[in-house]
Chains A and B, each alone.
Chain A
């Protein structure tokens, strides 16, 4: 087997790839959906949405199939009298937060999450959070962010949440360099990265978000941070405001992405190339071997990605470079050119990128192209299957451990599974 560290072939700054920008009906989630995974990641946090019945309905439709003895999210539903100004919204909020904290004394961190209605009527949740924090300090810290549909799309809810955590993090005490990994990762992935960083001799590694609200990482000018997820524009800016420095890298999807991502950290910490090679080599060999069988299966297949999570561009890079899939169209709800610069360089030159959406037109293009596999949300997946197309529902990519070497084949498997299934079923 021929394994070698692939340097990202930086084609001397290519002309920026053209991007189709569309606006029209967008078939995407709002940022409130982030709560569905964030409440599991930060175990002592509670998410209180301030919104309408629609917001409550959204979250329970997404998460309610699990039966909860004690859910860690809820909605303060605004009523007619709140809109008419008959009751002071702030008094109401105080009453509800007190009720909530009495019910759940184990909560250490409470997020007041803004929604479309609360943003449209300009309810100032940041001041409410400040006021309530003083009241319940030090037992409970209260922060706020917006997960509204008018401002955030799906994973941007996590961005907004993490950005709200940054000012709450303590300053660094030492001048020693430290590494911060930003973006929620599955626990098993986090542990794998910790072992790899240890082996590379990069000792001081912390994660945002932490598993416990009480364990917020320290941040200061000696912090170097690596984004583990592509949708963290505001979080990165908030970190930079505190003096932290972003390490540019592709995202840790697939063997190539993971290697380049780790290398960015290694280079910043002055790890010797020989050590880097020695530490990562066995992982790369193992992961490439695991990927092989999926390349046979997926190689040459045509794939169409609808916009959903901003993971589409790194995924497309992985699918095209490591599995030899052909990209028909790569849609993303939002394209951060700076954070994705390394990714864009690795995409084929003739790739069709689209930012934003007009879902009916995009469906027309998809039907016209008849790709082998369509990556899309659950609102489109079954209808497209019924039209005879094979789909991979995209939300699963946010809920599954996909980053790092050991998950490279699992990630490929997610795309192979619908095709295998279609071939298998006779009736």
Chain B
């Protein structure tokens, strides 16, 4: 068992629901107990969809367990077919459904429905949401595009001269973080390059669309967590190469454009020259100088975390002090990136471990998921959201991509917003006793009502923090409070570490300044 306060991912059947709900003409029959229909709310409330997800649940209850739950499943599947007349049906079980071992795949086949039935086996006690989405998408692609695959060993026919290159956009699903606008942004970027989009999938695609995935020249993988497995299979089966660079951030987008142009055999120089992004200038303008070396902790799915680290370090001038992901399948990517910023990679789906790490590192900004907002609130650290899981406020009405050149603009605004603005930061460091602009108060541009408790001092000592208890002299403690609050935690930690390493039992003002000189950044 694992103690879980918050979970980064839902169970795998929610991943399957994200694929199905993103698509058209597909229906999912899920063997699940009464109550699991809560997942509908993710789509109707958090993403504000105007239709019920195309999911039929068997909603068995305790008294059904004494009877024939297999029959219940068959009835539900037959009724779902009769009512919704889908082009393809997906069948599977939720975590409790899998415990009663009714074999939805076999039962659905026994109904002899006149449409393809795809069974997905999602081990709910081992795997999680993104894996469930990736597996479901892969199984659908295999089942629907597989029949039109060329014989093994056949080479791809050359594209005729004058015909524009075509690609598929793979990965966007329902309930994806900014997937809706990322599609728009990347499609327009590809259009500028003269590349046509053959199929965008799963989002917006029908089973018939999936069947013609093989017609494209190559694949653009926007979200490797979801489309990586399907893209590899498409490469093996149809000889379609796929993109490896995810276009989040200015440099990554430029590299992505070059990569795509190469795959499509087009010239990217005009598109790159006319690229409209304000991030580089905003970040170079003197107003941003105070952002230099701001200590930032980054956590999210691997794709967004790696992209964020690169933007933070190379494009905004922050210092990455922590980098991690809950996507265990992508541990290697995170370890490679962590090496680049010389930090310990944190690969965990344990919220408490992430919390302890943030407390230990005392960053000035946390870039994370909805879960890191809880941590940041507790520790009084500014926070911006860069990755799923997210809640309703991160499915905005306005255009808000993360990808491409407009995505970089959105990212600049979003990440800088929670930080205290430059002038206020200076004045706070000089004058501490103002009745309105107090030490530790919420940045005034965030208004009232955002008031967060500022965790200062030893709220909770992570197990591997200072090993010996050192004592602070009263005047030294007072001096510590003259350091601006957002770097005070770091100063406290550094001074204690310095004292420990140098055998100082009582920290004086002198120790504080020795430590400051020692760790000068």
Listed in ascending order, the chain A residues whose CB lies under 8 Å from chain B are: 24-33, 50, 52-54, 56-58, 60-62, 64-65, 67-71, 74-80, 82-83, 87, 89, 92-93, 95-96, 99-100, 103, 116-117, 119-121, 148-151, 153, 360, 377-383, 385-386
B128 touches A379 (CB 8 A): no
Give the distance to chain A from B286, nearest Cβ to Cβ, in Å.
34
Residue ID in chain A nearest B79 by CB atoms: A360
Listed in ascending order, the chain B residues whose CB lies under 8 Å from chain A are: 1-7, 9-11, 13-14, 33-42, 44-46, 48-52, 56-62, 64-65, 76, 79, 83, 94-96, 99-100, 123-126, 128, 352, 370, 373-374, 377-378, 389, 391-393, 453
Q: Chain A residues near B39 (CB, 8 Å)? A: 57, 61
Q: Chain A residues near B352 (CB, 8 Å)? A: 103
Residue ID in chain B nearest A89 by CB atoms: B1
Cα distance, A301 to B63, chains bound together (Å): 38
Cα distance, A364 to B37, chains bound together (Å): 19
B125 touches A61 (CB 8 A): no
Q: Chain B residues near A75 (CB, 8 Å)? A: 3-4, 7
A32 touches B35 (CB 8 A): yes
Q: Chain A residues near B2 (CB, 8 Å)? A: 76-77, 79
Q: Chain B residues near A121 (CB, 8 Å)? A: 99
> With A54-B10, A382-B45 in contact, is A30–B3 under 8 Å at CB?
no
A70 touches B51 (CB 8 A): no
> With A57-B14, A67-B377 in contact, is A378–B44 under 8 Å at CB?
yes
Residue ID in chain A nearest B128 by CB atoms: A53
Sampled A-B contacts (17; CB under 8 Å):
A28-B34, A30-B36, A30-B38, A53-B7, A53-B9, A53-B95, A53-B124, A74-B5, A75-B4, A82-B1, A116-B33, A120-B99, A149-B61, A150-B33, A150-B35, A379-B52, A382-B44
Q: Chain A residues near B393 (CB, 8 Å)? A: 65
Q: Chain B residues near A93 (CB, 8 Å)? A: 1
Q: Chain B residues near A87 (CB, 8 Å)? A: 1
A74 touches B50 (CB 8 A): no
B100 touches A120 (CB 8 A): yes
Q: Chain B residues near A89 (CB, 8 Å)? A: 1
B50 touches A57 (CB 8 A): no
Q: Chain B residues near A76 (CB, 8 Å)? A: 1-4
Residue ID in chain B nearest A75 by CB atoms: B4
Give the distance to chain A from B86, nearest Cβ to Cβ, in Å.
14
Q: Which of A54, A64, A100 contacts B3 (CB 8 A)?
A: A100
B37 touches A379 (CB 8 A): yes
> With A69-B377, A382-B45 in contact, is A96–B3 under 8 Å at CB?
yes
Q: Chain A residues near B128 (CB, 8 Å)? A: 53
Residue ID in chain A nearest B5 by CB atoms: A74
B99 touches A54 (CB 8 A): no
Give the distance to chain A from B64, nearest Cβ to Cβ, in Å.
8
Which of A62, A100, A379, A385 counts the most chain B CB atoms within 10 A? Answer: A379
Which of A30, A67, A68, A153 counts the most chain B CB atoms within 10 A? Answer: A67
Q: Chain B residues near A57 (CB, 8 Å)? A: 7, 10-11, 14, 39
> With A64-B391, A117-B96, A379-B41 in contact, is A54–B36 under 8 Å at CB?
yes
Q: Chain B residues near A71 (CB, 8 Å)? A: 5-6, 374
Residue ID in chain A nearest B126 by CB atoms: A80
Q: Chain A residues near B42 (CB, 8 Å)? A: 61
Q: Chain B residues near A28 (CB, 8 Å)? A: 34-35, 37
Residue ID in chain A nearest B42 by CB atoms: A61
Q: Chain A residues near B50 (CB, 8 Å)? A: 382-383, 385-386
Q: Chain B residues near A61 (CB, 8 Å)? A: 10, 38-39, 41-42, 46
Give the distance to chain B from A159, nearest Cβ to Cβ, in Å.
15
A70 touches B378 (CB 8 A): yes
Q: Chain A residues near B126 (CB, 8 Å)? A: 79-80
Give the distance to chain B from A377, nearest Cβ to Cβ, in Å.
8
Residue ID in chain B nearest A52 by CB atoms: B95
